[in-house]
């Protein structure tokens, strides 16, 4: 243990000495070298984030967690602290601002998603009930719901006659994602629902949707989705970006499930874990952007 601690501090001191030497030789600080030598996207933003967090300056360390409204002033503070003339290096401030917007936005997105996950479904809340009924109307436009408590809910993949009990694990986040998928990518959602009812590939659409919400949530919180979001969101990633990612994961898992050709639903955990590992491997590529296969993302990209 003692040797490991000594090795850690030795490497840390050596790294700082190396950075000092490189700065003297190039006339540029680490932030400048990253912005000038790395193209915009996840590769640049993740390097900037690591540099700020690893700085010996508390001001730089805390810059990754400032309020979005304080980012512009934070950039000015960083330029002053690093003794960089903004008139001589005008593009640097713009590049740093874009990176900080993504970094701070990702942290705020986690907080927003976590808030939805922690909010339980309340059947006494009119807004919650309205969203649930919207889900039914989007997925079953030609089949009116006969009653709020009904076995009909099983037709879209809930376990019983009252869906509220199925949202316990992911709270409102599961419902938000399912409604987004059904409302904004209706054609694909209806196709996935139809396929899920096929005897050969049978699974519960809504339950799997809540499970894939859990997968997306864990990818977000672990930081794995930084690669994707930093490559597709030019500024701060939003809840819409997260919901689009859910749509992508839902569609890709559906195709993966069919490719795996499981014997029955009892193989779900095995297939899910294998799918999870595949997505994680893809996200290890700093240039990775989970390709949109749905109308919602395509319309956003064309804006």
User: Which sign does the torsion angle of CA 187, 192, 195, 197 carry?
Assistant: negative
Instruction: Tell me the whole-structure pTM to 2 decimals.
Output: 0.86
Half-sphere exposure (Cβ direction) of 3: Cα atoms closer than 13 Å:
0
Q: What is the pLDDT of residue 8?
A: 52
For the chain, 303 residues long, the average pLDDT of each consecutive 10-residue run is 54 48 56 92 95 92 93 92 85 92 97 97 96 97 94 95 92 97 95 93 95 98 96 93 96 95 92 97 93 42 33
**Helix %, strand %, coil % for the chain, to 5?**
70, 0, 30
Domain boundaries, the chain: 14-117, 125-284
Q: What is the pLDDT of residue 127?
A: 97
Residues 6+ apart with CB under 8 A from 102: 45, 229, 230, 233, 235, 236, 237
Q: How many CB atoms lie within 10 A of CB 218?
A: 12
- The encoded tokens of residue 219 equal 């990818």
Q: What is the pLDDT of residue 4?
A: 57
Report DSSP letters for 145-185, one per residue.
-S-SS-GGGGGGT-SSS-GGGGGTTTHHHHHHHHHHHHHHS
What DSSP state is assigned to residue 141?
Answer: T
The SS3 call for residue 283 is helix
**Contact predicate 145/152, CB 8 Å:** yes
């Amino acid at each position: 243990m003692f040797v490991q601690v000594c090795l850690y501090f030795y490497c840390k001191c050596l790294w700082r000495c190396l950075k000092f030497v490189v700065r003297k030789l190039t006339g540029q600080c680490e932030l400048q070298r990253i912005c000038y030598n790395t193209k915009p996207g996840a590769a640049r933003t993740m390097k900037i984030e690591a540099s700020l967090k690893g700085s010996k300056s508390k001001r730089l360390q805390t810059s990754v967690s400032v309020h979005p409204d304080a980012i512009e002033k934070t950039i000015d503070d960083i330029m002053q602290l690093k003794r960089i003339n903004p008139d001589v290096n005008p593009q640097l401030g713009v590049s740093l601002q874009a990176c900080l917007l993504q970094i701070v936005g990702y942290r705020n997105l986690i907080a927003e998603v976590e808030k939805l996950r922690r909010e339980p479904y309340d059947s006494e809340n009119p807004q919650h009930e309205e969203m649930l009924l919207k889900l039914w109307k989007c997925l079953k436009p030609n089949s009116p719901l006969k009653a709020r408590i009904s076995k009909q809910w099983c037709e879209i993949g809930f376990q019983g006659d009252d869906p509220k009990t199925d949202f316990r694990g992911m709270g409102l986040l599961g419902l938000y994602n399912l409604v987004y998928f059904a409302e904004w990518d209706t054609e694909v959602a209806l196709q996935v629902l139809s396929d899920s009812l096929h005897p050969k590939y049978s699974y519960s659409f809504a339950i799997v949707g809540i499970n894939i919400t859990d997968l997306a949530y864990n990818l977000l919180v672990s930081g794995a989705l930084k690669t994707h979001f930093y490559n597709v969101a030019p500024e701060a990633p939003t809840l819409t970006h997260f919901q689009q990612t859910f749509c992508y994961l839902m569609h890709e898992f559906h195709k993966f499930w069919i490719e795996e050709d499981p014997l029955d639903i009892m193989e779900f955990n095995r297939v899910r874990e294998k799918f999870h590992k595949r997505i994680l491997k893809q996200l290890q590529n700093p240039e990775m952007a989970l390709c949109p296969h749905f109308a919602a993302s395509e319309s956003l990209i064309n804006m």
